[in-house]
Amino acid sequence: MAGSIPRTFIDDLLNRVDIVEIIDARVPLKKKGREYWACCPFHNEKSPSFSVSQNKQFYHCFGCQQHGNAISFLMDYDHMEFVEAIETLAQHVGVEIPYEKGHSNKPRNTPYTESLITTLQNCSDYYQAQLKQHNEAIDYLKQRGISGQTAKNFGIGFAPPGWNNLSGDEKLLIDSGMLIKNDQGKTYDRFRHRLMFPIRDRRGRTIAFGGRIINPDDNPKYLNSPETEVFHKGEEIYGLHELKQANTQIEQIFITEGYMDVVALAEHGVTTAVATLGTAISHNQIEQLFRTVKTLVFCFDADQAGRKAAWRALENSLVSLKEGRLARFLFLPDGHDPDTYIQEHGKQAFLQLAHQATTLTEFLFTELLSQGEVHSPEGRAQFVDKLRPYYNKIPLQSLKDQILRDVEKHLSIELDARLLQVIGGELPAKNSKTLIPEQHWTPTRLAINLLLQKPQLAALAGNLDELIEADIPGIELLLQILDQIHEQPDISTQNLLGRFSGHEHEGHLYKIAAMTPAMLNESDDIQPMFEDAINRLRLKYAENRFHKLNQKLMSGGKLNEQEIQEYRRLQHKK
Ligand SMILES: [Zn+2]
């Protein structure tokens, strides 16, 4: 996500900013104990469960599990884009951002990018003028049921046949993707004999085009602008600007697969549709949309390809499912897409269909259940295995609880502690009002918590690699954290947490970080506690090994030389 802003700069910026100051300016905080508290700005509540740690420079809500650093706070609270949030923080502490060359996320306001955008706008004006002069294009739109007004709203134009229609500065036309230069050094128009759909950024500036053929013999059917300095496919969303123009209050956004869908839906009064640009929807795009609206409805064909695309959308949505956010999946019947469906059945039928769209959890279960039986214990274990990575990505506890209840329903079993451990989940809280849930401070959790308070403790841990073999919950995460610190020994807590952004256990990690072990007083030296936790882990591993070797002996197995030595050593320790 960091794109072209160097990570070292972001790390450094986060170390300079005080998150308490940033949040307090927007949501007044009160100090209680060692943390700052407020009623959570991300969910409705009467008593504060939103905590901000000045030490660790992050926030965590014990109610809705929302968490993050100063950057994510600005993104979620002020609805900023990633780069915008960085720019705001940089300005706040008075440093300049050293943008890297040749990558995405470049600022779009250099004089040269301004010229590119002007060039693209000129092309758009030209295409719109051409549309009026070409009956074949007008007829095509009519035949597709698109009115002049809708065509105008979306700036639809027409690139006439011929290779050299565009005029202007050649370099700008090439750099904006409108001209192609061949091996002989000759240039020609990229878009020919096509209906042209300008792709606009959030400010409504044309940054690229999509072109659709009107003669069925031509190909390819759809052609998009290439990536340029001002156009990054994975970040832009077709129709978002138009959607914001047409609506002040938006309940839900339909995400379709093409610009014709967006335009056709708008023609029939559904002005809340957008499209991705020929690629699977990215996490980045989903976040952008969720910052505009709480409910997303993904629209797909019901065929194999559609379900596959839907599954990718599901995977990319999971980490964005915070309080109040919903993702639904609409599968259109009988080879329809939104365009053809609304033409044939009208707005009401489409909205009715959308109303019955599959919820994310329904879709998740349908897909996973279709991959194998769940009547045998093995089948159920496999199911749980498949479910686990998706389950772990979800940051919202209430949704996780819902999924656990669904597991019980679909597998006709009662979740016991063992199965929960397999999933990596916790029993749904009996009393969700509890501010800080009762915690068992296992040595692993304690070690993680203390490391997050003071990463430099890692130096005391020694080599723990062999512990990976031990059957200790959470040990893998602990080892990953230690790895990160060994890689960068002076890393700060917030930078360390940042390394786990998007990690399957990110939510879990923030939760551990946000809790203070009850036995820990403000003045305590945490070093002995950390050493003790590590010792207990080593001991647990030794016990595990001893038990294993013992079992091998009991069952008549032979130990090799190395194992005998190990056995003696362990016996001695005991
Ligand atoms: Zn909350």
Residues 12 and 82 reside in one and the same domain:
yes
- pLDDT score for 499: 87
- Contact call for residues 284 and 234 (beta carbons, < 8 A): yes
Residue 402 makes CB contacts below 8 A (sequence gap 6+) with 361
Is residue 480 in a domain? yes
Q: State the residue range of the domain holding 486.
A: 443-573
Quote the number of domains for the chain. 5
Residues 83 and 186 reside in one and the same domain:
no
Residues 279 and 220 reside in one and the same domain:
no
CATH number at residue 526: 1.10.860.10
Query: pLDDT tier at 427 (50, 70, 90 boundaries)?
Result: very low
Residues 200 and 119 reside in one and the same domain:
yes
Query: For residue 31, how far is its CA from the centre of ligand 1 (angstroms)?
Result: 18
Residues 293 and 177 reside in one and the same domain:
no
Indicate the residue among 64, 93, 122 that finishes a domain.
Answer: 93
Query: For residue 291, how far is its CA from the centre of ligand 1 (angstroms)?
Result: 16
Query: For residue 41, how far is its CA from the centre of ligand 1 (angstroms)?
Result: 7
Is residue 230 in a domain? no
- Contact call for residues 98 and 2 (beta carbons, < 8 A): no
Query: For residue 363, how far is its CA from the centre of ligand 1 (angstroms)?
Result: 26
Query: For residue 435, how far is its CA from the centre of ligand 1 (angstroms)?
Result: 11
Query: pLDDT tier at 256 (50, 70, 90 boundaries)?
Result: very high
Residues 121 and 218 reside in one and the same domain:
yes
Residues 204 and 246 reside in one and the same domain:
no
Is residue 434 in a domain? no
Instruction: Provide, rounded to the nearest whole percent, the portion of the chain with pLDDT above 90.
Output: 40
Note the pLDDT tens digit of each residue in 322-346.
Answer: 888 999 999 998 789 999 999 999 9
Query: For residue 40, how far is its CA from the centre of ligand 1 (angstroms)?
Result: 5
CATH number at residue 354: 3.40.1360.10
Query: For residue 407, how far is its CA from the centre of ligand 1 (angstroms)?
Result: 25
Residue 401 burial (CB count, 10 A): 16
CATH number at residue 79: 3.90.580.10
Is residue 410 in a domain? yes
Angle at 448 between CA 386 and CA 486, to 5 degrees: 100
Residues 254 and 301 reside in one and the same domain:
yes
Residues 449 and 564 reside in one and the same domain:
yes
Query: For residue 116, how far is its CA from the centre of ligand 1 (angstroms)?
Result: 43
- pLDDT score for 433: 34
CATH number at residue 184: 3.90.980.10
Residues 321 and 394 reside in one and the same domain:
no
Phi-psi region of 243 (alpha: psi -120 to 50; beta: other; left: phi over 0): alpha
Note the pLDDT tens digit of each residue in 471-520.
Answer: 788 888 999 999 999 988 889 888 898 888 878 788 888 888 887 766 66
Is residue 314 in a domain? yes
Query: For residue 439, how far is its CA from the centre of ligand 1 (angstroms)?
Result: 19
- pLDDT score for 414: 62
Query: For residue 60, how far is its CA from the centre of ligand 1 (angstroms)?
Result: 8
Residue 94 in this model has a pLDDT that exceeds 50: yes
Is residue 432 in a domain? no
Is residue 71 in a domain? yes
Query: For residue 521, how far is its CA from the centre of ligand 1 (angstroms)?
Result: 26
Cα–chain-centroid distance for residue 86? Answer: 18
Query: For residue 48, how far is its CA from the centre of ligand 1 (angstroms)?
Result: 9
Indicate the residue among 59, 93, 127 that finishes a domain.
Answer: 93
Indicate the residue among 224, 255, 286 that finishes a domain.
Answer: 224
Cα–chain-centroid distance for residue 338? Answer: 25
Residues 62 and 129 reside in one and the same domain:
no
Is residue 131 in a domain? yes
Query: For residue 385, how far is its CA from the centre of ligand 1 (angstroms)?
Result: 29
Residues 247 and 207 reside in one and the same domain:
no
CATH number at residue 391: 1.20.50
Query: For residue 21, how far is its CA from the centre of ligand 1 (angstroms)?
Result: 19
Note the pLDDT tens digit of each residue in 355-385.
Answer: 999 999 999 999 999 988 888 778 887 888 8
Query: For residue 323, how far is its CA from the centre of ligand 1 (angstroms)?
Result: 7
Note the pLDDT tens digit of each residue in 383-424.
Answer: 888 888 888 888 888 888 888 888 888 777 665 544 555 555
DSSP H/E element including 329 = strand 326-332
Query: For residue 514, how far is its CA from the centre of ligand 1 (angstroms)?
Result: 13
